[in-house]
Structure 1
Amino acid sequence: MLLGVEMKDEHFTILLADDDEDDRMFFQDALDELLVSATLHVVSNGLDLMLFLKDHLHQLPQVIFLDLNMPSKSGAECLAEIKKHKKLSKIPVIIYSTSANPDVMESLYNMGALYYVRKEGDFSNLKSVIGKALTLWQQNSSRQPHRSNFLVLL
């Protein structure tokens, strides 16, 4: 159970693409504390993300958390590439960023991102917002919400 909502799958696979080592560690800690039964794969830049996906076409992650500001290839570039690929386009992508630019959020929504999660400075808030994003993803069966519900707030 996650934040009072029963998860549909007993175990699922998450792919986190984030170049910041601390952010990757906090994400893993948040999943551990949420008691989410998930396998977390981690890549540290956009090129590695796309290589991982293409190398795992037979067993893709069920959801991707994607940082925007990464070396080699940005999160936005990765999202565009994912959404253009027939098989990859079905993977829900949740943007996971410190940025709060409304124009960027609008563009990412239009590109097909599922949700937008702002990285929280406080661990308790970070844990809550990750849990909420996972719950929304499960409840909505990976359907993109109305634009007004794109940004996941506490």
Structure 2
Amino acid sequence: MRIFIQIIDFCIIYPIFGEIDLSPIYMKNFTIFYTDDDEDDLNIFTDAVESLSKDINLKTYSGGEKLLDAIYHPPPVPSVIFLDLNMPGKNGFDVLNELKGSDKSDIPVIIFSTSNEPGIIDKCLKLGANYFITKPVLMKDIVKSIEHSLNINWKEFVPDSKNFVYKS
């Protein structure tokens, strides 16, 4: 008996055993919440996500209060949250602290900030953030950093000082 493997659009078909979906997570129905007080950053992030896949449902918010309101009043429920730190009102630290102390603590939170100060990175890790990305300057690097973070298996990923910060 011969078994063959056929690759079609990121999907491996095993005629005897059925089908195994190996699509990257960002190719599936996926919801991202992103908050930033800078409209230009919101637009750049939107363009970057749209370049990855049309199957990503992106919701953007201009502040921490608006993000929290959306999280506590679904749908949709975010698959992952990208969070800026420096915002007026409820800043990223406040939002992170509130989320990780709530029944929404299982939602992965990725800090997406211009800061790369070790003290700030350490504080985010201690507050329960799942990952830290210093905002890249070039669009291709922004896309790459988002794509990388969407391919992490958040159910198994355990952040620590060695794997917490995105390395381009």
TM-score range, shorter-chain basis?
0.7 to 0.9
Residue 16 (structure 1) aligned with residue 34 (structure 2) = yes
Q: Residue in 1 aligned with 2:89?
A: 72
Q: Deviations over 1:5-39 (max 9, x none)?
A: 73247211000011111111111111111226210
Give unpaired runs (5+ residues) of structure 2.
1-9, 11-21
Alignment of 1:35-54 (within 5 A): 35=53, 37-54=55-72
What's the offset of the Cα at 1:130? 1.2
The residue matched to 1:26 in structure 2 has which SS?
A: helix
Aligned mates of 1:12, 1:105 — CA distance in 2: 26
Counterpart residue number, 1:149: 163
Confirm or deny: 8 A CA contact 2:31 2:76 kept in the other structure: no
SS at match of 2:136: coil
Q: Which runs of 4+ in 1 moved over 2 A?
A: 5-9, 139-146
The two structures, once aligned, show a CA RMSD in angstroms of: 1.8
Structure 1 residue 63 and structure 2 residue 80: aligned?
A: yes
Q: 1:140: how far off?
A: 4.3
Q: Which has the higher helix share?
A: 1
- The equivalent residue for 1:108 is 124
Alignment map for 1:73-88 (pairs within 5 Å): 73-86=90-103, 88=104
The equivalent of 1:99 in structure 2 is 115
Q: What is the alpha-carbon distance in structure 2 between the residues aligned to residue 33 and residue 59 of structure 1?
A: 21
For residues 28-39 of structure 1, the aligned pairs below 5 Å read: 28-35=46-53, 37-39=55-57
Structure 2 length normalisation: TM-score?
0.81
How many residues align? The count is: 147
Gaps in structure 1 of 5+ consecutive residues: none
Kindly indicate whether structure 1 or structure 2 has the higher relative contact order, using CA contacts under 8 Å at least 6 residues apart: 1
| TM value normalised by structure 1 | 0.87
Task: Give distance in 1, aligned partners of 2:35 and 2:156.
Answer: 19
In structure 1, distance between residues paired with 2:155 and 2:93: 23
- C-alpha contact (below 8 Å) 2:96/2:109 kept by paired residues: yes
Q: In the alignment, which of 116, 124, 128 is matched to residue 140 of structure 2?
A: 124
- The superposition leaves residues 120-144 of structure 1 with CA deviations (integer Å, 9 ceiling, x where unpaired) of 11111111111111112xx343633
Identity among equivalent positions (%) equals 35
Asked if 1 retains the 8 angstrom alpha-carbon contact of 2:85 and 2:91, the reply is yes
In the alignment, residue 148 of structure 1 is paired with which amino acid?
A: K
